[in-house]
Structure 1
Amino acid sequence: MTMRRIRTIGDPVLRTPCEPIAVVDDRVRRLVDDLLETVDQEGRAGLSANQIGVGLRAFSWNIGSEIGYVINPRLVEVSEDDQDGPEGCLSVPGLWYPTRRALYARVVGADLDGNEVVVEGAGLMGRCLQHETDHLDGRLYLDRLDRATHGEAMRALRARL
């Protein structure tokens, strides 16, 4: 297992949709180990494979006392009820903006043995599941901001350059 470097905004891997994992081999097992180790830090709720430079559909989470992963996740359900709260991203360090998400989300995928995995939750877990599946589709949370907030975020990013 290796703690991996987080790719940040501007890296094209973050804007490229990830490929499904067709075969679980040693490379995929190492990827999952690295995702679990890298997400297991204070203040980290989730981590997608492309955030560590790997264009495959997998992510890990660290919510409350639960750390886990899912391979080839598909967002299959979100609630009509929503939440609007501050959201940040390891790939957009130091910036937090109010982001509207569904309150509840459910993801279906697989584990390393090919067994179906269902991950669901409300609040922070629901937000995490949506955030990480967005990453795997090549989207950042900044893409979900309203127009005025998006402009503010872009100005803040330019000021850092």
Structure 2
Amino acid sequence: MALRNLRFNGDELLRKKSKEVTTIENKIKILLDDMLETMYENDGVGLAAPQVGVLKRVVTIDVDDGNVYRMINPKIISSSGEQTDQEGCLSVPEFRGDVTRPMNVTAVYTDENGKEVTIVAEGLLARCICHEIDHLEGVLFIDRAVNIEKK
């Protein structure tokens, strides 16, 4: 595993749409490991591949619920409810803002072994899934946030 350099707001790559992963090769597994190490080193709870300069639909999440999520090609298939809370982002480290997201989401993704997984998430995990999938679409939390304040 290795630390990867984070990309920051203003980097054009963060505004591009990521490409689907068509084959789960060893380099995707290495990317997932590196992303987790980079996320932990920077005290994050989620990280998307574009944040480390890779335009692939790959996400890692650890909200301290006893699970570590390594998501390839994640998609939200349903959502319900609403929650508004403060968000930050490793790619926009100096700011926080209130973002409204679904309270509950059901998502599907492929794991690093090629198995399709369906996840039903609520609260912080649902928020993180939405936030990280936004990154895959070239959207930053500051595009959705109100009451943005400098940390």
Fold-level match, TM-score > 0.5? yes
Asked if structure 1 preserves the Cα contact closer than 8 Å seen for 2:42 and 2:90, the reply is no
Q: Does 1:111 align with 2:108?
A: no
Q: Determine which structure has more spread, i.e. the larger CA radius of gyration.
A: 1
Structure having greater relative contact order (Cα 8 Å, sep ≥ 6): 2
Distance 1:135 1:97 in 2: 16
Give identity over the alignment, percent: 34
Name the structure 1 match of 2:21: 21
In the aligned structure 2, how far is the partner of 1:69 from the partner of 1:93? 23
Greater helix share, structure number: 1
> TM-score, normalized by length of structure 1?
0.86
Deviation at 1:41, TM superposition (A): 4.0
The separation in 1 between residues aligned to 2:113 and 2:85, in whole angstroms, is 36
1:69 equivalent in structure 2? 70
Shift of 1:43: 3.4
Stretches of structure 1 lacking an aligned partner (at least 5 in a row): 157-161
Q: Distance in 2 between matches of 1:113 and 1:72?
A: 13
Letter in 1 for 2:61: W
Unaligned 5+ residue runs, structure 2? Answer: none
Paired residue secondary structure (1:63): coil
Comparing 23-32 with 48-57, greater Cα deviation is found at 23-32
Number of aligned positions between the proteins: 149
The 4+ residue runs of structure 1 with deviation greater than 3 A are none
Q: Tell me the amino acid that sits aligned with residue 87 of structure 1.
A: E
Counterpart CA distance in 1 for 2:41 and 2:128 is: 15
Task: Give 2:67's aligned amino acid.
Answer: E
Secondary structure (helix, strand or coil) at the match of 1:109 reads strand
